Amino acid sequence: MPAPVFVGDEVSAAGWRLAGVRVIIPEAGSEAVALARVMAEGAELVLLSAVCARALPPELLGRFLVSGRPLTLVVPDAQGQGSGEDLTARVRRRLGMQA
């Protein structure tokens, strides 16, 4: 089984590398190319930094997240950028329990 792949910034990549994850650090504007490379190499799990995810065209990101091939997860970076909204708050807002 191929090793998981992290696509994101250099600082976060250092931590993922220590955990045994293969890393790709794309230059700004080449995130889609990096993701295509990961696909071509047959990765089964892609950990995509939230900052890189925001740099991708929404339809491309959506395709990766929904297809499940490879399984793609968006993760916050080492500085906490892109950690997103609290899941509990999102669920409450969707249910109309919170503005």
pLDDT in tens, 68-77: 888 988 888 7
Angle at 34 between CA 31 and CA 35, to 5 degrees: 90
Res 22 pLDDT > 70: yes
CB within 8 Å of 13: residues ≥ 6 apart: 6, 23, 24, 25
- Exposed e or buried b per residue across 20-34, where buried means at least 16 C-beta atoms within 10 angstroms of its C-beta: eebbbbbeeeebeeb
Share of the chain above pLDDT 70, in %: 83
What's the pTM value of the predicted model, to 2 decimals? 0.77
Q: What is the largest CA-CA distance in the chain?
A: 44
Stretch (H or E) spanning 50: helix 50-55
Q: Quick one: pLDDT band at residue 63, thresholds 50, 70, 90?
A: confident
Contact 43, 69 (CB under 8 A): no
Stretch (H or E) spanning 66: helix 58-67
- Check whether domain 5-94 has CATH 3.40.50.880, yes or no: no
pLDDT of residue 1: 64
